[in-house]
Structure 1
Amino acid sequence: MGIDYYKTLEINRHATDADVKKAYRRLALKFHPSSNNEPGSSEKFSQLGEAYEVLSDPRKKATYDRFGEEGLKGGIPLEYASGGAWSSKYVYHANPEKTFRQFFGGNNPFADFYTNDVPMQLGGLQPGMVKTQDAPIERDLHLSLDDLFHGCTKKIKISRRVMNEDGHTSSIKDKILSIEVKPGWREGTRVIFSKEGDQGPNTIPADIVFIVREKDHRLFKRKHNDLICTLNISLEMALTGFSVDVQTLDGRLLCVPINEIVHPAYEKVLTGEGMPFFQDSSQRGNLIISFNIQFPEKLSAERKQLIKKALSLK
């Protein structure tokens, strides 16, 4: 069966991101070695760190939910890595204190923070302590080619820990982040929301970074600002000419005549019919049509003679 991360955090599989954080906060404080000397508490504390690290990350969680611990830690083929799944082999760093510090903030996790709006009197803010910022929180933003062609607005709800007005207690609150996708954005474009991570008394909230990931399109593949589509044609069409209809991303139907002989390296280039340039959306790349020539599997002797005769004519 493998490790049940949900059971470790005492939540069900329908738990939200806020539920995961609440559960980890409660149990990590309960089983932290400095506050619990019972046998097995250190092992439980380590298990909590690993469970939180997996279930708080959408990609790791997606892989675990679908393929279990074996798929998460053994890796899965890229063709199955859809829906935000994690395709790399996951290895927990085995340092639950690191996970604990990153969650609560500060080098001394028990230095004046509060949980469930009730202060934990485990020490005060250390004089002269310099606040440090947590590492950026990176999340994939999956966008269709249509989204990247036209531009759009994506609204994403996050749950984070925020400090209350008294400056000492904290609570979990939801927030909607709005992303204005610009026409022409490419795979890997990074959208940064400064200091939108969890707040804490001894730490600067982490930046939240969304990284654009392009979804596959049924017809087009993108290469920089160009769009490439591959169409199947017969050998007869390749030798005698034809026309093809191509539906563009902006809804137009292009009727493209092909009068040349189509050889394996042949490409039809339609200038200015590709993706908009991010710097100047009035300019666009090219639409490149390539062809996959379907050869007949069998030919009768009579047909072979006819082809020989036709090709020998000058």
Structure 2
Amino acid sequence: MGVDYYSILQLNRSATDADIKRHFRKLGLKFHPQKNPDDQEAADKFKQVAEAYDVLSDPRKRATYDQFGEEGLKNGVPPGSGHAGAWTQGYTFHGNCDKVFRDFFGGDNPFQEFYDRVDGDLSMGFGGLQGRGSKKQDPPIERDLYLSLEEVFHGCTKKMKISRRVMNEDGHTSSIRDKILTITVKKGWKPGTRITFPEEGDQGPNNVPADIVFIVKDKPHPSFRREGINLIHTAKVPLGKALTGWTVDIHTLDERILHIPINDIIKPGYKKVVPEEGMPISSNPSEKGDLIIEFDIVFPSALPPQGKNLIKAALLHQN
């Protein structure tokens, strides 16, 4: 009756390519000589599994085997058999089970350490590998999340599209797919806040996907910058108004207009603090920091003579 390659891989004849790969992966790992030292029965099964995979994973060999059986596969299909695309030469398994195993796993061979030899000896046995336990996780992938001050003031929802490598159902191949990650931005999040999506990085057969971490950063704002929970606004004030009084009009992040009277003389370095008009405190958004107004005093580029005399007269009492 001949060798039943499907039975060796614990499959039926309707098996898909993905089924063949999945079963070879499972049985190849189970009967690998490094896992079964000095076990001739396991070594024989490993060879059978490798040969079965070598045949069934090749469409032309599998087609010949399905129609003509082991005898037709190994003796060759005679001309005029009427089977288009069939294997026409006799097939002989090359016998290198290790090569089949390596070719299947490629650079991600879970037994790679078995082939890294030190002074002619294996650097680590199978037991040593199993002793190390689970797969290693890739380092975190960090991305900047730029938010406007309005978004942080009010809170918002951000949709972030990522592209990552995902393992296919066969457990061996992979493809690039997009995914949308949803970030619920809380009121008052400070720069440097980290939002972690566990294991959303590239997948692989022998790794734990990396965490993806978004790090909050402030977008530049035309009217404010923030320091901690406080908002800083710089107002330009003409010298005359700096000396005589002024009202600063400020459009807030929640679309109000504040009219802040300045009755003090505005000196270099002078600041006006408006309580509770800053950023929400993330732990208690009903509370806010302060609004701090800094001033940029604008000096005139020139003065007419009578203007100078008026200023001298007004400031004589300072001398």
CA deviation profile, 1:263-308 (whole Å, cap 9, x unmatched) = 1121111000000111111111100111111112222332222112
Matched, 1:172 2:176: yes
- Please point out which of 230, 233, 249 is paired with 1:229: 233
Letter in 2 for 1:223: E
CA distance in 2, matches of 1:239, 1:248: 26
Match of 1:273?
Answer: 277
Change in 2 beyond 3 A, CA 1:121/1:257: closer
For the 8 Å contact 1:245–1:254, the answer to whether it is kept is yes
Matched, 1:163 2:167: yes
Match of 1:255?
Answer: 259
Match of 2:110?
Answer: 125
Change in 2 beyond 3 A, CA 1:112/1:305: farther
CA distance in 2, matches of 1:153, 1:141: 12
Match of 2:247?
Answer: 243
For the 8 Å contact 1:266–1:291, the answer to whether it is kept is yes
Q: CA deviation at 1:123?
A: 8.3
CA distance in 2, matches of 1:112, 1:241: 85
Change in 2 beyond 3 A, CA 1:222/1:111: farther
Match of 1:300?
Answer: 304
Match of 2:35?
Answer: none
For the 8 Å contact 1:163–1:169, the answer to whether it is kept is yes
Change in 2 beyond 3 A, CA 1:286/1:216: same
Match of 1:15?
Answer: none
For the 8 Å contact 1:112–1:122, the answer to whether it is kept is no
2:287 is paired with a residue of what secondary structure? coil
CA distance in 1, matches of 2:274, 2:293: 8
Among all aligned residue pairs of Structure 1 and Structure 2, give the percentage whose two residues are the same amino acid.
55
Change in 2 beyond 3 A, CA 1:112/1:291: farther
Letter in 1 for 2:303: L
Q: CA deviation at 1:167?
A: 2.7
Q: Which runs of 5+ in 1 are unaligned?
A: 1-109
Match of 2:93?
Answer: none
Match of 1:291?
Answer: 295
C-alpha root-mean-square deviation of aligned residues, in Å? 2.4
For the 8 Å contact 1:189–1:211, the answer to whether it is kept is yes
Q: Which runs of 4+ in 1 moved over 4 A?
A: 110-114, 119-124
Q: CA deviation at 1:313?
A: 4.9
Change in 2 beyond 3 A, CA 1:112/1:145: farther
CA deviation profile, 1:123-172 (whole Å, cap 9, x unmatched) = 85325454111111111111111111111111111111222334333222
1:184 is paired with a residue of what secondary structure? coil
Q: CA deviation at 1:217?
A: 0.2
CA distance in 1, matches of 2:303, 2:159: 58
CA distance in 2, matches of 1:145, 1:164: 41
Q: CA deviation at 1:236?
A: 0.9
TM-score w.r.t. length of structure 1: 0.59
CA distance in 2, matches of 1:120, 1:172: 19
Matched, 1:154 2:158: yes
CA distance in 2, matches of 1:123, 1:208: 22
For the 8 Å contact 1:112–1:125, the answer to whether it is kept is no
For the 8 Å contact 1:111–1:122, the answer to whether it is kept is no
Would you say how many aligned residue pairs link Structure 1 and Structure 2? 201
Map 1:184-195 to 2 at 5 A: 184-195=188-199
CA deviation profile, 1:69-127 (whole Å, cap 9, x unmatched) = xxxxxxxxxxxxxxxxxxxxxxxxxxxxxxxxxxxxxxxxx99899xxxx666785325
1:303 is paired with a residue of what secondary structure? helix
Letter in 1 for 2:143: R
Change in 2 beyond 3 A, CA 1:239/1:168: same
Match of 2:70?
Answer: none
- Please point out which of 142, 145, 150 is paired with 1:138: 142
| Higher Cα radius of gyration | 2
CA distance in 2, matches of 1:158, 1:125: 28
CA deviation profile, 1:163-204 (whole Å, cap 9, x unmatched) = 233433322221110011111111111111101111111111
